[in-house]
Amino acid sequence: MTNGSPCPPSRPWWKDAVCYQVWPMSFKDSNADGHGDIQGIISKLDYLKDLGADVVWVSPTYKSPMKDFGYDISDWSDINPAFGTMEDMLQLIEEVHKRGMRILLDLVITHTSDQHPWFLESRTSKVNPKADWYMWENGRPGHHIYNTRTGVDDKVEQPTNWRACFGGSAWYYGEERDQHFLHLFLKEEPDLNWENPVTRKAIYEAAIGFWLDKGIDGFRIDTVNRLSKDVTWQDVPTKLVGPLQSATHVYINGPRSHEFLKEMRQYMDNHPRVQESGQELMLVGELPKTPMDDVMQYVHPDSRELSMVFDFDMVDLAGHDSPDEVKAHETKNLCDGDPSYTLPLFKETIIKVQNLISAGGWGTVFMENHDQCRSIARYATPEPQYYQKAAKLLCLMQTTLSGTEFIYQGQEIGMLDMPLHWDYDDFRDPGAKLYIDEEFESGGPEARENARIGNLKFGRDNGRTPVQWSSGKNAGFSDANEGECWIGVNDNCEAGVNVEDQQADPDSIWHFWKRQVGLRKEYREVFMYGSFECLELDNMKTFTYVKTAVDGLTALVCLNFSNEMQPITAPDDLLNGRSLEFLTGNLGQPLAHEQPLAAWEGHVYLLKAPLHKAVEERLRRFPTDAQLDEAFGKSLNI
């Protein structure tokens, strides 16, 4: 390996990694313009290293008109001046590697900006060299579709009745060609035509090869299961009121998805730098709405497609990731007590990913990112008296599940959602504003207020407020004048929700995260790699599971997701004469193992038992990953 610790032959380096996602606009501003930047990231690398991060995932800083905050890319091989320069980016890559860490960049290749030179050429005519580099289709003047839900003939003159993810039609008319182009997201984000092999080759060279040459260690691939669409362009059944319908089942996990990914992975594997260094790239795919068997096709080592995926079943609880079907203000959280989101349903989403790993694939452990609300109210409780406990409880769970760990900026200090008084002018997410506008147009002031509440609860801006480094001006994010930051700062930074105060408090959420990351690495065989067994799946109050390493080391994790005291579950057949040895908990060590869990309390116990002779013989003949790691290290004198 060229950077960081050498990778033992027993497993890829990225399985052991603790990753930290940086969303640059809100991470750290270095030049007082109110906008986070690359030099700001560099200034905090020692902080990330101290926290325990091994990998820094940097969200887009590419050249972009910023209609979708960098996910509308006009040039993959250039840097948006708002973030800095190419020299800044090369310095970031170098500084990350100097600290023994690795770096991932976002790979956004389902679409480009409508200002990308390829699209500007494509839209000029039907016969130019890039005419078919995007997905253009003829409209249907005067076309109507009978809506089986409303009994009305809806006028749909676009090529299909598909709805875009952020609202409105997924097609936009291009006057120059007298055709419509597909955009699954904003109309400023036209979808690339992956059916065209010339386009694919150009994407590989411009978006992938360029950055592999610069020394990055992998990619997080945006909307990776939207590359292939059903290009017969069929209307989808009418299930929603109105002419436009959700069409995710025809453009997610399309018929050529695996073919395209295998081809792309082959390009990466054959890249000269990868060949020369022998480095195993880390490829993380964003994979919503995908069943278990299909996920396995993406991540199984024999498939040679992705290293791991972000499975979104947990995110989608109560329809949160299905805005076409469930409006944001109608979506529920755990503590809302709604049958669409219960603790057993939450457990099932965890079980899916853990079973993926035990079946030979690999997954991720995450609860937050730049597209989601903050985790504490979503997956635990919004009640302020339980804030510290709930934040640490979720950390306890996240650091004891198998897979590659991802921490999102600010999660380590328990950052919370937007203040409840924020309104339309405070929001920055274009999807949030489109939602409010659509609701107001269709339902008036009451519908508008519902949409505002929905955005406060689930909007993407929740995860995009500036990182709170201190209780001072702009929460230490920027030296810009008050009111000049690109988005407002949460005023709870003055109430201890900031890095500076929490680093000074040994009982803080920050210190708990740091300790837990350390324990995860110390006991990696059980927490990163151990098998998973859920106990009492139907229990509506507690989440209890067993992690078992291949060498027999066993951990019992007991988490109370309620406001009431709950007993600890430790079945006799699990204990089998063994005693519980307390390892860690979010409220400290209990007076006795049989002591019930307090509200939002969690414990982790170790069970160390003599190994059966058959297991001892197996270990003697077939060494564990840990033993291989140790032998590999000795061979390198490290």
Q: What is the pLDDT of residue 433?
A: 92
Q: Among this protein's residues, is 37 annotated catalytic?
A: no
Residue-level pLDDT at 540: 97
Q: Which amino acid is at 111?
A: H
Structure-derived torsion over alpha carbons of residues 624, 628, 630, 632, reported in degrees to the nearest 10: -170
Using the 8-state DSSP alphabet, how is residue 134 labeled?
B
Q: How far is CA 196 from CA 173, 203, 228, 248, in A?
A: 21, 11, 11, 22
> Are 274 and 214 in contact, with CB atoms under 8 Å apart?
no
Structure confidence at residue 1 (pLDDT): 29
Question: In angstroms, rounded to a whole number, what is the distance separating the alpha carbons of residues 576 and 22?
Answer: 45
**Under DSSP, is residue 91 helix (H, G, I), strand (E, B) or coil?**
helix
What Rg value do the Cα atoms of the chain yield, rounded?
25
* H or E stretch covering 404: strand 404-408
Q: Under 8 Å CB-to-CB from 340, ≥6 apart: which residues?
A: 317, 318, 319, 332
Does residue 527 surpass a pLDDT of 50? yes
pLDDT at 614: 41
Percent of the chain with pLDDT over 90: 84
CB 203 within 8 A of CB 193: no
471-482 pLDDT, tens digit each? 999 999 999 998
Residue 617: per-residue pLDDT: 46
pLDDT band at 25 (very low <50, low <70, confident <90, very high): very high
Backbone angles phi, psi at 350, to 5 degrees: -70, -45
Cα 144 from Cα 152, distance rounded (Å): 10
CA distance 536 to 566: 13
Kindly indicate the confidence band of residue 92, based on its pLDDT and cuts at 50, 70 and 90: very high
Give the pLDDT of residue 609.
61
pLDDT for 320: 76
Query: Are the C-beta atoms of 398 and 367 separated by less than 8 Å?
Result: yes
The answer to whether 581 is a known catalytic residue is no
Answer with the residue of higher pLDDT: 29 or 609: 29
Average pLDDT over residues 175-182: 98
Contact 595, 577 (CB under 8 A): no
Find residue 57's DSSP bridge partners.
21, 104
Q: Contact 327/458 with Cβ under 8 angstroms?
A: no
* pLDDT bracket for residue 167 (50, 70, 90): confident
Comparing C-alpha atoms, which of 149, 457, 170 is closest to residue 319? 457
Predicted confidence band of residue 569 (pLDDT cuts 50, 70, 90):
confident
Whole-number Å distance between alpha carbons of 638 and 634: 6
- Whole-angstrom distance, CA of residue 178 vs CA of residue 79: 33
Cα–Cα distance measured from residue 427 to residue 453, given in angstroms and rounded to the nearest whole number: 12
Residue for token pair 């020394």: 215
**CB 356, CB 363: distance < 8 Å:** yes
Q: Among the options 189, 191, 222, 412, which is catalytic?
A: 222
Res 494 pLDDT > 70 = yes
Round to whole Å and give the CA distance between 253 and 224. 9
Backbone angles phi, psi at 76, to 5 degrees: -70, -25
Q: How many CA atoms lie within 13 A of 508 on its CB side?
A: 20
Q: Tens digits of per-residue pLDDT, 126-158? A: 999 999 999 999 999 999 999 988 899 999 999
User: Over the stretch 361-408, which tens digit does the pLDDT of each residue have?
Assistant: 999 999 999 999 999 999 999 999 999 999 999 999 999 999 999 999
Comparing 573 with 35, the larger pLDDT belongs to 35
Q: Which of 37, 72, 217, 286 is catalytic?
A: 286
User: Does 328 or 231 have the greater pLDDT score?
Assistant: 231
Q: What is the full DSSP assignment across 257-291?
A: HHHHHHHHHHHHHTSHHHHHH----EEEEEE-S--
> Which one-letter DSSP state was computed for residue 337?
T
User: Which pLDDT score is estimated for 9?
Assistant: 46
- What are the φ and ψ backbone dihedral angles of 154, each rounded to 5 degrees? -90, 135
Hey, which residues does 105 pair with through a beta bridge? Answer: 58, 219
Say what the pTM is: 0.93
- Using one digit for the tens of pLDDT, what is the confidence trace for 595-636? 899 999 999 999 976 545 444 444 444 445 555 455 444 544
Is the pLDDT assigned to residue 288 strictly greater than 50? yes
